[in-house]
Structure 1
């Protein structure tokens, strides 16, 4: 395929939308040859996106227009639920040809989503080499390095010359995940060194691999959490990282494109969790609505029950509110602002815990820092709100009550927002899932109580 000039993100998005609309129009007209011609110059990842957005009855038709090699690559880019829909449409042999030639890590990811009976039947019908590679990955725990690695890498021996290594590379390159790093092993498959493609090309043909390779190896074990693998690749700017078993034998590699999928997956889970939505195995937007409602209602019910504390506080101060009705108008402003301040503090702390930027041993220092930040925010907000409340009510007593309460609530929210994630982390709970509802409850109940007590003190009621 001839190279094309780089395109901006906007133009690429417009191009993908154009391809999808034209593809659907051609399929509607049953112009299969035109649709096939349309897809020839389109990159596989964009074809996958176009197929994903087609009506279900047209996806299999569009997929069958691809050549076998292109179909394999496109299939790997599709979401797992669309892969399963296509599987149901394929004839058995047609599907086996695609699955057998998938990369082992993508195949293992697909098998994770399929029923166990289907997985066993498919494993039995794969070629022996691919069956062993897939079974190896499925044998490791989910979300670990062993589960997302690929056994398709290029290995060399220390005693080989550069010329021998180049011959090995030419022989294996087409079937390997990446050739930018070459791994040096001994007879027992223990990892002894690593050699970059650049170093290999620049070395003299008669030099030994052992003389030019790097012995300073950074690797991960098969049981290393996938988030830790992502941090290592990010820290060292690797394109791939080797994976060794418990005894130090090289069993696979993890490439940066697989880690990007992990980062997207983990970030999505964190965002769902922060919103009180329990993420499932399926995409949230493709999950059954009743399942969505069942998962989301849990924390909403908890908040509904705990927020009765706010009602109890207001009820206990009915005499004050009856005398100064204007106070009630500012309750939503105060608790909403407090909730926002608490959410800001908890978000930065939870993110820091997830990326290891924040350590449990520094919890007191972080809480103190957020307390000072909350105090400064409270002072700035209190000045503005006090003046605004006076302009609205023409009552300095009410205005001062609102301003002082907002200062205290901002301080409380910052402390709660930064402290609760550390507390839940220490108790082995997920800080993202547990912090939000508890911060909301603390700020709502204590915020209203502080406000009404401050108002009673200032107004002498």
Structure 2
């Protein structure tokens, strides 16, 4: 509520032209909060509010803005202003912005940037998409093992303002090979004359430039690091990825998995601001696949037409059975996919996990089957139909949990994203088998 009031007040001040009051409101705020407020403003006021910020704060705020707003602001500024903002951004944030800009704009900006920043950005852009090299920064502090603690602290004081983080320090040799790491805490409490090589940690966890960014995020999470060193093929230190960058990676990966699980292909940073034709084109692919697959269910029903004509009431329970089967299968696939993505579950655990989920499906089937048998008998008074529905639900639950647990492992082994085994796909597969099982059990019990 307070944030909403401040947002409304900011827009009113901008509309009234009270720019001094806008400065007084924004300058004391945290850069992330200022970026959020600018993002919420109408497009016509975003550039105005941003221009009112002091130059140093504006650079920091700019890095927190969504890429859409960053691009809009670039188009509003005169070229020298754009160049100064871009030149002073951290290399990883700059590379992320350049990924979103038209190639012509990127080329123009690269030509006019300082040589050091141009080289740093070109280096990051040369690494594969979604790799640790693409999101790393070259702004970090390195030390030599021969330095004393006092000399190292002097070096940190000189480099602190231009470094992404100083809480983790990296020890290298003359060829930039990574020898060890050192926390700022350990350095501060060390004796001034102690050598860095005596207090550093030699067992270093690192990633290579072509390591997938999601793997880097999992390592950060597992070891509770603030930053992770990135080395090239010769194990030379070329950058670090920080926890704030990897939080963005985790958010993007989770969003992608959620979209995939729902049968929606990712369409960029903001789904709700994407062109509707693009949205429809992305979503229709899965829907067409499911539509074609579901024709198999129609074929099964048509093949059992004589049974359904004699016992029409069987038709009424088809939605109940296939709906329950799809839900049970989706539950199993969800927990297995989550376990695989977080590495709580390993491919070697397949037999145990699939067996466990299938046993859970049997228990669920017995509980649900008993309940639906009583309900069907209460509704129709036909024991044969009631038993057909109940026994079918037990069999469908078994098949659904087996499929929901096993198929993600199969996709993982085939090097596909386990999230591709999404709820819509499993539901469709269970629909076909469920109807086939139900109608054949009914034919057997009813003797038709």
Q: Same fold by TM-score, threshold 0.5 exceeded? A: yes
SS in structure 2 of the partner of residue 307 of structure 1: helix
State the shift of 1:16 in Å.
2.8
**Given the alignment, which residue of 73, 79, 87 partners 1:86?**
73
Specify every segment of 5 or more residues in structure 2 that has no aligned partner in the other structure, as ranges. none
| 2:288 aligned with 1:304 | no
What is the aligned partner in structure 2 of residue 444 from structure 1?
431
State the shift of 1:345 in Å.
1.2
Q: More deviation in 291-300 or 125-134?
A: 125-134
Give TM-score, length-normalised by structure 1.
0.94
State the shift of 1:437 in Å.
4.4
**Given the alignment, which residue of 2, 5, 9 partners 1:22?**
9
State how far apart, in whole Å, the 1-side matches of 2:405 and 2:216 are: 27
State the shift of 1:15 in Å.
3.3
State how far apart, in whole Å, the 2-side matches of 1:15 and 1:112 are: 35
State how far apart, in whole Å, the 2-side matches of 1:427 and 1:314 are: 33
What is the aligned partner in structure 1 of residue 268 from structure 2?
281
State how far apart, in whole Å, the 1-side matches of 2:324 and 2:52 are: 56
State how far apart, in whole Å, the 1-side matches of 2:286 and 2:36 are: 34
RMSD between superposed Cα atoms in Å: 1.5
What is the aligned partner in structure 1 of residue 236 from structure 2?
249
What is the aligned partner in structure 1 of residue 324 from structure 2?
337
Give TM-score, length-normalised by structure 2.
0.97
State how far apart, in whole Å, the 1-side matches of 2:13 and 2:310 are: 73
Specify every segment of 5 or more residues in structure 1 that has no aligned partner in the other structure, as ranges. 1-13
What is the aligned partner in structure 2 of residue 138 from structure 1?
125
What is the aligned partner in structure 1 of residue 161 from structure 2?
174
What is the aligned partner in structure 1 of residue 99 from structure 2?
112
**Given the alignment, which residue of 385, 389, 398 partners 1:411?**
398
What is the aligned partner in structure 1 of residue 407 from structure 2?
420
Q: How many residues align?
A: 448
State how far apart, in whole Å, the 1-side matches of 2:375 and 2:34 are: 56
Runs of 4+, deviation exceeding 6 Å: none
SS in structure 2 of the partner of residue 400 of structure 1: helix
What is the aligned partner in structure 2 of residue 6 from structure 1?
none
Matches within 5 A, 1:45-444: 45-444=32-431
State how far apart, in whole Å, the 2-side matches of 1:111 and 1:387 are: 63
Q: More deviation in 203-212 or 34-43?
A: 34-43
Contact 1:16 1:46 in 2 (8 A): no
Q: More deviation in 105-114 or 125-134?
A: 125-134
State how far apart, in whole Å, the 2-side matches of 1:158 and 1:342 are: 56
State how far apart, in whole Å, the 2-side matches of 1:114 and 1:15 are: 35
